[in-house]
Copies of this chain bind each other. A is one copy, B any other.
Amino acid sequence: MSIEPIKWLGDKLRLLDQTRLPGEEIYIELSDHQGIASAITELKIRGAPAIGIAGAYGVALGAQKINSKAKDEFLEKLRDVSKTLTTTRPTAKNLFWAIERMQKVARTGKDAEEIKELLIAEAKKIHAEEVESSRKLSQLGSELIWDGSSILTHCNTGALATSGYGTALGAIKWAKEQGKKIKVYVTETRPLLQGARLTCWELKKANITSVLITDSMAGYLMSQKKIDCVIVGADRIALNGDIANKVGTYSLAVLAKEHGIPFYVAAPTTTVDPNLSSGDQIPIEQRSPDEVTHIQGIAIAPEGFEALNYAFDVTPHQLISAIITERGIIREPYGEGLKEVC
């Protein structure tokens, strides 16, 4: 794997600062949970699986700084650490899943010292598992990508988003490695341009034929029969198969349906929320309007103009042809399939 966006250095975490790509490859080293929380909030690290991993390391790093010896007091302070990390971003399930798992492991430790060790081991385990999940689901997902096909993808779902192969982009990369001749259309993904900045950067490194388009061009390309399938990631999956993903995903799903094009979602099972029966219960993050009114610091609208900035949207399961997980490809009825893999 040539891209290593998340690397544990023994006593600190090294992250590739994704806000600086594609112009600069800058690595930052973080040794406390506040630093990790800020990196998540500021999108230096983003992508549902990746922020799960970073969140786990955040708990582990936070634990190392707790001075309390008594287990109860230690766990109480660890809950504060976890709270700081969980309040960074509300939509991606993986973050909450990872932190809950870290909390659970902490409770099994007999004393502060053991808990500290257990948490580092658990974060590394979560990291390794997510990398492995991403490899498996990329392999499975690649089966849905035909030789000679053109694939539309949205946002970034590659190594940067997962620390492994990727999810949607992982399947695309796997298909390429199998020798399939494919072409990828990448939506730029406004407002923060993860498609243009990050996915194009990964596709270039992977030497895959690809073309950048604005989000608004996807419909026209479909009408011109230039797209054979759409494949995207997910930030949270409800038990009925509804998914939340980067804003614009829903529009692509509606357009895919209109044109009879398969619409695939690829995500590890850590993205599934077993507490939610449908997508309308998924909390949708609203970010600063400045991300819409400004592009890389430059104002594009009159000063003070009101803007909305939903970071995600919800795509109902009826529009999804299949959900690709590391434990199998799931199709309607999603309820059964998702329960089986979780």
Contacts and interface: CB of A to CB of B under 8 A. Distances in A.
Contacts of A273: none
Interface string A306-329: 111010011000000000000000
With a 10 A CB-CB cut-off, give which of A200, A204, A219 has the most chain B CB atoms: A219
A216 interface: yes
A269 to B, nearest CB: 25
A214 interface: yes
Given A219-B251, A251-B218, A251-B255, A212 B310 contact: no
A89 interface: no
Interface string A185-213: 10111110100110011001000001111
A115 to B, nearest CB: 42
B301 A211 contact: no
Give the interface centre of A200, A296, A305 by most chain B CB atoms within 10 Å: A305
Given A22-B301, A188-B190, A210 B306 contact: yes
A11 to B, nearest CB: 33
B254 A219 contact: yes
A220 B300 contact: no
Contacts of A305: 200, 204, 210, 212
Contact of A214 (B200, B201, B292, B306): B292
Interface string A203-238: 010000011111111111101000000000000000
Interface string A244-259: 0001101100110010
14 contacts: A22-B299, A185-B308, A196-B301, A197-B300, A204-B302, A211-B306, A212-B308, A213-B307, A216-B247, A216-B248, A216-B251, A218-B251, A219-B251, A220-B314
A204 B302 CA distance: 8
A290 to B, nearest CB: 11
A203 to B, nearest CB: 8
Interface of A: 22-23, 185, 187-191, 193, 196-197, 200-201, 204, 210-221, 223, 247-248, 250-251, 254-255, 258, 289, 292-293, 295-296, 298-302, 305-308, 310, 313-314
Given A196-B300, A302-B22, A302-B201, A223 B313 contact: yes
Given A211-B307, A307-B213, A250 B301 contact: no
Chain A interface helix/strand/loop/mixed: mixed
A250 B220 contact: yes
Contacts of A201: 302
Given A200-B302, A313-B220, A292 B212 contact: yes
A301 B217 contact: no
